[in-house]
Chains A and B, each alone.
Chain A
Amino acid sequence: MSDPVSVERPVTRNGSRGGSASTSDAEAKISSNVQGAGGPPTGTTAPAKVITRPGDRIFKALTVGSGVFVVVMIALIGIFLLIQAIPSLTENKANFLFSRDWSADPADLAFGVLDLLLVTVFSSVFALLIAMPVSLGIALFLTQYAPRKLARPFAYVIDLLAAVPSIIYGLWGAYVLAPAMGPFTKWLNDTLGFIPIFAKGSSDLGIGQTIFTAGIVLAVMLLPIITAISREVFDRTPPMQVEGALALGATKWEVVRTTVLPFGKAGYISASMLGLGRALGETIAVLIILSATTQHFSWTLFDGGDTIASKIARAAQEFNDPRGAGAYIAAGLVLFVLTFVVNAFARAIIAGHKEYE
């Protein structure tokens, strides 16, 4: 039958980072159902249990141990960051959450994460706003519009975007894209400058080291992530619904609008949230593109500045004094919590949808 194909498929899916993540929950349920029905029974009356040998006990202990290890690991990340951050936080002369100035000089700690947090969220949301519609289009194109034979190679091409290391995105963004965007951003600033987000910021438009440039590069990096997961979900639209719509005389677009989109909406939103999580934590591309500034973030796309991640990376070479490093670790903790919440939220959305199984 089609066994080789089904063995191959998940592999190609994993070519895109996290591409398979959303489906595995669903598949876990399928397989456990199947096993509950006909698989090796694991209940109390299991015949397999009769032959419990030392090897079995040791092996099981190893696998359980590995599972526990991973759970402990995530807790340790939070705990260790917290432990290392606390001494610096207690010596901090500024309000960590609400101060907008950052001074991690060990002799005079006065650091606040607010400005970094604003730039982080602002640039990521901007990137998401660009990436969401485009990924939606690509996912629809690959699942509904592209000729069946070409869909897979096309999908592979989109996955290639995920294979490019972020440092190369950063170099391209800073040295090629940024100058090329100069005329466009100047035009935006001239014509739409009255809208606060297009107002003149701390970064020169000709040089282009702005949140705008960084956001566009981030958006490109998000495309393969959002597309891969949305594609999976759209592919699972029940054929009955599609056929029903067609039978009623719907055009292709109407089929998509009335069946595929409503069905895949939650998956698409979840995918976008996962993408957001990725954008929030992106480090090196943002570091290379954004110009540093001493001014506060002023809610414009044409500001420079630092995200939490880029600020940490910028200072990475100076980690030697525990209190100075502690300030950055505190910022890292905020980023960890932020991405934790966003990711957990993304998983929660899709976990409530049994129809994706």
Chain B
Amino acid sequence: MTAATDFDRPATAPAFQQLSGARKAKNRIATVLVGATFVLALVPLVWLLVTVISKGFEHVLNGDWWQKSLAGLTSRQFGGGVYHAILGTLLQGLVCAVIAVPIAIMVAIYLVEYGKRSRLAKAVTFTVDILSGVPSIVAALFIYALWITTMGQPRSAFAVSLALVLLMIPVVVRTTEELLKIVPDELREAAYALGIPKWKTIVKIVIPTAMSGIITGISLAIARVMGETAPVLVLVGYTTFINYNPFGGSMASLPLLMTSERLTTNEVGEARVWGAAVTLILIITVFNLLGSLISKMTSLKTK
């Protein structure tokens, strides 16, 4: 293993020099240790995935799993499915995206196209940084304090979506901001030269250029918020029935189903919990893949 082959930038290693044994040993130890940390990180990942799949995969193979709820089944009866929870997870994620994405994109446009280095832009950048570090339980508490205590609204899936908005905005702002910066200034200048107003330039030229990346970012952000558990614990009740109404009543979601069915201590409960875990991972994977797929399908072919 010659040292430098992995660098594509530097020149070849000074092979003519004699290295002292101690330096060689140190180098070798460092290499082994660094490689070992990577392997070490794989251990929990593999262990976790194997656990989830071995405990839950068989349950999701059943067609009912994807089409039925757990309505009318006691905690001792196998059968039914998690359709109600999948629906809730998707619904809460999509409602959240519908609110969060426009705001986030506008913030990103402000930062890149208008704010530049103004004081407000700095404040916004700082805020987005802080917002990305706000724990989900704090976001949930805030919505609880605002939406439920102050405004007197009932606990509902919509409240969950509002809390998720707080978690989603910083992620989408970040992605969009970076992508907008990459859009070549020549495009903007060309548009201005044709007398196109700035806002039209942004909407018709800048955004479409960055669109594929933005969509990827959005789907990744949705995948992220769909796995959040703290907001659903605080802001909505669990039910085994299908609920299409985000504004009222209890609504299941996969994380909420897992925390609720965890209280069923028999094999039925275990099947539901781990089956839901597999389902959640599958859905998150689909959203991640969807992101890169859309990116590939819609990306601009620049040569």
Q: Please, which residues of chain B bring their CB within 8 A of the CB of A53?
A: 197, 199
* Docked-complex contact B48 and A246, CB < 8 angstroms: no
- The verdict on A121 contacting chain B, using a C-beta distance below 8 Å, is no
Contact with B along A1-37 (1 / 0, CB 8 A): 0011011101100110110110011011011101100
CA distance in complex: A158, B44 (Å): 11
When the two chains form their complex, are residues B35 and A145 in contact, meaning their CB atoms are under 8 A apart? yes
Within 8 A of B (CB), among A62-95: 62-71, 73-74, 76-77, 80-81, 83-84
Q: Which of B58-66, B69-77, B228-236, B240-248 faces chain A?
A: B228-236
Q: Find out whether the CB atom of B302 lies under 8 angstroms from the CB atom of A81.
A: no
Q: Which residues of B contact A34 (CB under 8 A)?
A: 185
A293 to B94, CA, bound (A): 39
Chain A CB within 8 A of B268 CB: no
Is the Cβ of A254 less than 8 Å from the Cβ of B23?
Answer: yes
B57 in the interface (beta carbon within 8 A): no
A59 at the interface (CB under 8 A from B): yes
Complex Cα gap A220–B216 (Å): 26
A249 on interface, CB distance cutoff 8 Å: yes
| A148 close to chain B: CB less than 8 A | yes
Would you call A316 and B233 a contact (CB within 8 A)? yes
Which residues on B sit within 8 Å (CB–CB) of A274?
133
Classify chain B's interface size: 35 or more
Contact across chains for A312 and B288 when beta carbons are under 8 A apart: no
Determine the distance from Cα of A134 to Cα of B37 in the docked complex, in whole angstroms.
5
Q: How far is the CB of B191 from chain A (nearest CB, A)?
A: 9
CA of A251 to CA of B29 in the docked complex: distance in angstroms? 12
**Which of A67, A69, A256 is the most central at the interface, judged by chain B CB atoms within 10 Å of its CB?**
A67
Q: Does A352 contact B (CB under 8 A)?
A: no
Residue B127 interfacial (CB < 8 Å): yes
Cβ–Cβ < 8 Å partners of B223 in chain A: 163
Residue A215 interfacial (CB < 8 Å): no
| CB-CB contacts below 8 Å: B6-34 with A | 6-11, 13-14, 17, 19, 23-24, 26-27, 29-31, 33-34
Do A284 and B259 touch across chains, with their CB atoms under 8 A apart? yes
A74-B302 in contact given A17-B224, A56-B199 (Cβ < 8 Å): no
Q: Decide: B38 and A251 in contact? CB cutoff 8 A.
A: no
Within 8 A of A (CB), among B234-291: 234, 255, 258-259, 262, 273-274, 277, 280-281, 284-285, 288
Tell me, yes or no, whether B188 is within 8 Å of chain A by CB.
Answer: yes
B34 touches A283 (CB 8 A): no
**Nearest residue, chain A, Cβ from B200:** A55
* A55:B197 contact, CB within 8 angstroms: yes
Q: Is the pair A15, B302 in contact by a Cβ cutoff of 8 Å? A: no
Pick from B41, B146, B220, B274 the residue with the most CB of A within 10 Å: B41
CA distance A146 to B39 in the complex (A): 12
Q: How far is the CB of B252 from chain A (nearest CB, A)?
A: 14
Q: Given A39-B188, A138-B41, A172-B52, decide whether A339 and B107 contact each other with a Cβ distance below 8 A.
A: no
Question: Helix, strand, loop or mixed for chain B's interface?
Answer: helix
Count, chain A residues at interface, CB 8 A: 127
**What's the least CB distance linking A350 to chain B, in Å?**
10
| Residues of A contacting B: mostly | helix
Asked whether B297 is an interface residue with its Cβ less than 8 Å from the other chain, the reply is: no
B38, A154: Cβ atoms closer than 8 Å: yes
Provide the bound-state CA to CA distance between A243 and B12, in Å: 9
Task: State whether A77 touches B134 (Cβ < 8 A).
Answer: yes
State how many angstroms separate the Cβ of B106 from the closest Cβ of chain A. 4
Residue from the list A68, A77, A281 in contact with B142, Cβ < 8 A = A77
A4 in contact with B185 given A55-B199, A168-B280, A171-B273 (CB within 8 Å): no
Q: Which residues of A contact B (CB under 8 A)?
A: 3-4, 6-8, 10-11, 14-15, 17-18, 20-21, 24-25, 27-28, 30-32, 34-35, 38-40, 42, 47-48, 51-53, 55-56, 58-60, 62-71, 73-74, 76-77, 80-81, 83-84, 133-138, 140-142, 144-148, 154, 157-158, 160-161, 163-169, 171-172, 176-177, 220, 223, 227, 239, 242-243, 246-247, 249, 251-254, 256, 274, 277-278, 280-284, 288, 309, 312-313, 316-317, 319, 322, 325, 328-329, 332, 335-336, 339-340, 342-344, 346-347
The 8 closest A-B pairs by CB, nearest first: A281-B135, A137-B37, A165-B227, A59-B199, A66-B106, A343-B133, A63-B110, A253-B30
Interchain residue pairs with CB less than 8 A apart (10): A58-B199, A64-B110, A66-B106, A68-B120, A166-B227, A168-B48, A168-B52, A171-B273, A283-B230, A340-B133
Q: For the A-B complex with A24-B177, A68-B124, A243-B11 known, give 6 more contacts whose Cβ atoms are closer than 8 Å.
A: A58-B199, A67-B124, A70-B128, A158-B38, A166-B229, A239-B10
